[in-house]
Amino acid sequence: MSGALSGIKVLEMGLLIQGPQAAALLSDMGADVIKIELPNIGDQGRYIFLSPEDMRSAVFTACNRGKKSVTIDLRTSGGTEVFKSLVKSADVVISNFTPGTLEEWGLGYDELQKINAGIICASGSTFGPVGPDAQREGADLAGQSAGGLVKTTGRDGDPPSPVGAFIADHIGSLNMVAGILAALHARNSSGLGQQIEVSLLGGQIWAQASEYTHYLMTKKVPGRSNFGHPMIKAAYRIFQTKDGWLGIIGVPPDARDAFFLAIERPDLALDERTQGPIMAPEVLSEFITELEKSFLEKTTLEWCEILKNAGVRYAPVRDYAEVVNDEGVRANGYIRDLVDIDGSLNTVVGSPIKMSRTPLTPGALPPDLGADTDEILKQEGFDKESIERLRKEGAV
């Protein structure tokens, strides 16, 4: 079955994660993604090696599966010639350079839309396309830090701590995909493309919209997570068990009796202070302390069985190894085994979106640097001699 974006051609000049991961999701949706990389160097993500002994890159593999790779030096006249030729038949251009870089090379949206009025140019930056920090370079940690996320994690009194995932880059990539899909829809009626600009900073603020709105309404910072969420004053947090940790995802008033019986604390059900919709801070603190004592009495697996039978919302706190081997994760395709074109089996992160008529199909592996250069250029009308000339000039 064809993907939802079958027939859409994407030119991606992304680096590391923000741009490349957006293009990877479009590829999963069926788009034909051509990754444009600097000759002999490529995307910086290729060089985040697993170890000194293992020169593979998890970052590059995760963000570039299912794409084709063409090497073009966009700073050269020959490279500009090739790129503009590709733009004529393209639908989307993705980049995440420092704002103004493509304009300096004569490849900004204003120039490209003269070649192709329907072209959609999506640009990702760190701090936004304008303002005093627009020209500053950055990466995921800059988005987490400048966007306020780092100060929300951990416990009161502990040093700030970043999230242990490239979350700012990931959210930036999703915002980019959302803008691209909306622009493709708008083009159906107008025939015109447009420019889309997203940033790591803007994505982090949007991701914390509820928490920022709390501050805007109260002028008080919500605070640290403290094993849960600073805005939810209830049993909405993780608890240590005999052998690990367990998340209790809130206990509504109508479920409290069943919860107290399940954890063998009927005495708490008889405490009138716990019966209202909101507990007083001192009561909540005492309540949490009692729950901490109770959850230490059994293993995480034992508690999961008990709470499941009681109809209480819960989730075990798992590491990656446990998640990858989870039956439900596999059943939903969130982790998938795919066969590559050479017949080898590869386990990959699947697509998080399920579509009934146009299912997403993740690629098994990313392309080698420049693997598709000659093929793509021939499709654009460049003959063998022209390609050799461009290669000698360092343009491809």
Which residues are 71's β-sheet partners?
A: 37
For residue 382, what are the contacts with CB-CB under 8 A and spacing of at least 6?
Answer: 82, 85, 390
User: HSE-up of 365 (CA within 13 Å, CB side)?
Assistant: 13
Apex 125 CA angle, 137 and 13, nearest 5: 100
Nearest to 77 by CA among 111, 107, 122, 98: 107
Cα 364 from Cα 61, distance rounded (Å): 9
Of the candidates 158, 169, 243, 374, the residue annotated as catalytic is 169
Nearest to 181 by CA among 205, 198, 167, 201: 198
User: HSE-up of 283 (CA within 13 Å, CB side)?
Assistant: 13
Cα 184 from Cα 120, distance rounded (Å): 8
User: What is the enclosing helix (H) or strand (E) of 59?
Assistant: helix 58-64
Alpha-carbon Rg for the chain, nearest whole angstrom, is: 25
Say if CB 200 and CB 140 are below 8 A apart.
yes
Confirm whether 254 is a catalytic residue: no
Structure tokens at 328: 């439900």
The edge-to-edge listing of strands for the beta sheet with 245-249 is: 236-240, 245-249, 314-316
Cα 303 from Cα 59, distance rounded (Å): 36
Q: List residues with catalytic annotation.
A: 169
